[in-house]
Amino acid sequence: MTNPKTLGVLLFDEFELLDVFGPCEAYGVRDLGGAFRIIMTAAQAGPIASAPKRIAR
């Protein structure tokens, strides 16, 4: 596919890992012919602490 749709994932302090990486796996890891491009974003640049305080970079 030449024009993949962008799927944005909003990270916030103490986010739940499953809430982020479950959808990422469903849309990004599976072979969907390049239909999606996944980006992660947050209010500020830098590491974001997930619950319980693990750091996503």
Task: Give the domain extent around 20.
Answer: 5-56
Number of domains, the chain: 1
How far is residue 45 from each of residues 1, 3, 22, 28, measured CA to CA in Å? Answer: 31, 27, 23, 23
Tokens (6 digits) for 52 = 């319980």
Task: Select the more confidently predicted residue: 28 or 1.
Answer: 28
The residue written with tokens 């796996």 in the block is: 25
pLDDT in tens, 17-46: 888 888 877 776 665 677 878 888 999 999
Q: What is the pTM of this model?
A: 0.64
> 3-state secondary structure string, 1-57?
CCCCEEEEEECCCCECHHHHHHHHHHHHHCCCCCCEEEEEECCCCCCEEECCCEEEC
